[in-house]
Structure 1
Amino acid sequence: MEWNQDAKDLLEELVKPIPVFARPMAKKKIEGVILKGVEGNAVTKDDVIKGYIMASPGDMQERAVKMLKAKKIDLTPFEDVLQQAK
């Protein structure tokens, strides 16, 4: 599966706050969730946002949403994903 550069960059930004020792494992989990939801031939920024939300455990989801909003990402198109992930 091919990844768009914007998608790669966003995923790297999103995992930066995770402690270094846990980052590879967390990134692998998030990538797995992202790849399950990809529609098409390439992973897009929207796929990363959806996967990141879905991969965030219940108590961490609020933190994930704050991080996405801090990056000026409009979560309106992802309301259904936010509801599913709760």
Structure 2
Amino acid sequence: MKWQDDSTQLLDELMKPLPVFVRPMAKKSIKNKVEQVAQEAGAEEVNTDHVVRGYIIAAPDKDRAVTALEANQVDLAPYADLLK
């Protein structure tokens, strides 16, 4: 699936706080979830909304997900239902 440049950049930024040795595996897992979210939405390419939704869904620790997303200036209001 094709990714928009800003979507790839956001995913890379969200991965930076993770330890280097787990980053590749975590990125692969989250990327798969993001693409699943995009496919379920009927999208032809991944946008930043798909990245945020996939990241939240895939995150085992929602508090860390919120911290990482806020650090990247992501408005979490549209995703409140996923953060419950």
Q: What TM-score do you get using the length of structure 1 for normalisation?
A: 0.89
- Structure 1 equivalent of residue 15 of structure 2: 15
Name the residue aligned to 1:36: 36
Identity of aligned residues (%): 46
Matches within 5 A, 1:1-80: 1-38=1-38, 39=41, 40-57=43-60, 60-80=61-81
Q: Which runs of 4+ in 1 moved over 3 A?
A: none
CA contact (8 A) 2:15 2:27 kept: yes
Q: Distance in 2 between matches of 1:75 and 1:37?
A: 17
- Deviation, 1:69, is 1.2
Show structure 2 runs of 5+ residues with no match: none
**In the alignment, residue 6 of structure 2 is paired with which amino acid?**
D
Q: Over aligned residues, Cα RMSD in angstroms?
A: 0.9
Deviation at 1:70, TM superposition (A): 1.9
Q: How many pairs are equivalent?
A: 81
